[in-house]
Homo-oligomer: A and B are copies of this chain.
C-alpha cells in the first residue's frame, strides 16, 4: 500500500483495528450460537460481548512469542473476558476466523469500489450530456475516420463502467461467504448451525463446503474482476492522454494554480494524472495472476495463499479505489477545447466523408469496386495535400456523371453522422 495512492476509508479496512474488530464479531456471534445450542453457557457468550476487548499492540507482543496470530488474539481477548474466555473459539479453527474475516474485508472494499464506480458513472453521464452534440473526429488506428461526438466518447465509457459495476457486484457476491466448519471443514467439533448464525449476522452466505479454507477460486474471480476494471480505467486514461497531446489538444486535465509542469519547461501541461492511472492499471492487473495461482492449494489447504493476500488484498483494492476516484476527478474537471475539436475535424479536407460518397455512388448504380477506386483516387490527392475532397469530386467526370453538385454538397453534412446519437444515448442512459 503506497500512501500516495491510498485513501483513508479504503486503507482503514486493512488496518489491524478493523481486522480484529471483525474477528471479535465472528467469535462473539459464534459464542451466541454455541450458547443457543447449549454447548457453552449463555453467560459466557454474554461475557464475551460485554467485556470483550482487544488491543492491537498487546496482540502483536503475544504473537511475537507464540508465532500464531489467532492464538495471540484469543489470549489478549481472554485478558479482558476472564475465565469465560475458555468457551471462545470452541470447535473452530483459525481459518474459520481468518477466511471469514478476509471475505468481510473484501465485501467492505467492494462496497467502496461500487460507490467509486457510481461516482464515476455520474461524472461520465454529466459530461456525456454536456457534450452530446459536440461533434469531433472519430479515429480508428489513430487516423481520422468519420465524425463522432464527444458525448459518445463519454457514453462509451459509461456503458463500459456499467458492465464493470455488474461484474463487481457479482464478484462481491462471490466472496460474501462465511465458513465456520472446523479443522478440515467437517463440522466434527462444531454444529453447522453456528456457521449459519454467524453468516446471517455478518451479512454473508454460508460456504457450502469448505476444506478448512474457503476455496480460493472465489478470490481469484474477485481479483480478476478488479484487473478488468483497471483495464477499463486504462482505456479512458489513454483516451485522455491522446486528446491532450500537443497536436490534438482537444482536451486537457485540469491544471491547478501553483502547479508546475516541469522543472525545465515552464509552459508544459502534462496529462500526468492519466499517465499515472495507466501505470496503476498495470499494477492492479498484475495482481490477478497470483490470485489465480492461489487456487491450487494442497489437499485440504496449505497457507501459501496467505502471504499473497497480505499484498494483493490491500494493494489491489486501495490502488483501484484511488484510481477510480482520481479518474472521476479527471473526468469531472476535464477541460474541453471546442475550437480545437472543430479544427481537427476540418483538418482532413473532407476525407471523412469519403465513405458516404462511396455509398452514394453505389446507390447510383456504380459497382462497389468502381466506386471504391473512384473515391480512393480523389482521396489520395487530398491526402497528398491537393485541395479538399468536395472540390476535387466536383471536378471528377466519373463522379459528376453520377452525382450533381447539390447531391455532393448534401453528403458533406455533419448532421448525417449525429442522427442516431439519441438512439445510442437511450440505450446507454435510458434517456436522450
Main secondary structure of the interface of A (DSSP, over half): helix
- Is A56 an interface residue when CB atoms closer than 8 A count as contact? no
Instruction: List chain B residues, Cβ under 8 A from A186.
Output: 138, 146-148, 152, 417-418, 420-421, 424
Does A89 sit within 8 A of B, measured CB to CB?
A: yes
Known: A155-B209, A187-B419, A188-B419. 19 other contacts (CB 8 A): A4-B310, A67-B260, A139-B298, A142-B244, A143-B246, A146-B186, A159-B208, A170-B170, A186-B421, A224-B228, A231-B293, A231-B296, A265-B355, A267-B376, A267-B379, A276-B304, A278-B302, A279-B306, A286-B289
Q: Are A246 and B293 in contact (CB under 8 A)?
A: no
| Most chain B Cβ neighbours within 10 Å, of A142, A225, A239, A248 | A142
Contact B70 A231 (CB under 8 A): no
Q: Give the size range of A's interface with the partner.
A: 35 or more
Tell whether A410 is near chain B: CB-to-CB under 8 Å: no
B residues in contact with A263, CB < 8 Å: 68, 70-71, 74, 89, 92-94
Q: Which residue of B lies closest to A163 (CB)?
A: B217
Q: Which 3 A-B pairs have the closest CB atoms?
A: A267-B379, A138-B184, A142-B245
Q: With contacts A227-B292, A272-B303, A307-B5 known, is A266 near B142, CB below 8 A?
A: no
A294 to B227, CA, bound (A): 12
A218 interfacial by beta-carbon distance below 8 Å? yes
* CB-defined contacts of A329 to chain B, threshold 8 Å: none
Q: Does A282 contact B (CB under 8 A)?
A: yes
Task: Kindly state whether residue A25 has any CB partner on chain B within 8 Å.
Answer: no
Determine if A265 and B145 form an interchain contact, defined as CB atoms under 8 angstroms apart. Answer: yes
- Say whether B4 contacts A266, CB under 8 Å: no
Q: How many copies does the complex hold?
A: 4
Q: Which residues of the partner chain B approach A278 to less than 8 Å between Cβ atoms?
A: 296, 302, 304
Q: Could you name 15 residue pairs across A and B whose Cβ atoms are closer than 8 Å?
A: A89-B263, A138-B211, A142-B245, A145-B212, A146-B183, A182-B264, A188-B416, A206-B427, A221-B225, A264-B358, A265-B354, A267-B382, A267-B389, A276-B306, A278-B304
When distances are taken between beta carbons in the complex, the residues of chain B under 8 Å from A220 are 227-228, 231
Considering the complex, give the chain B residue whose CB is closest to the CB of A343: B247
Q: Which of A240-269 contact B (CB under 8 A)?
A: 241-242, 244-248, 256, 258-260, 262-269
Decide: B188 and A356 in contact? CB cutoff 8 A.
yes
* Cβ of A301 under 8 Å from chain B: yes
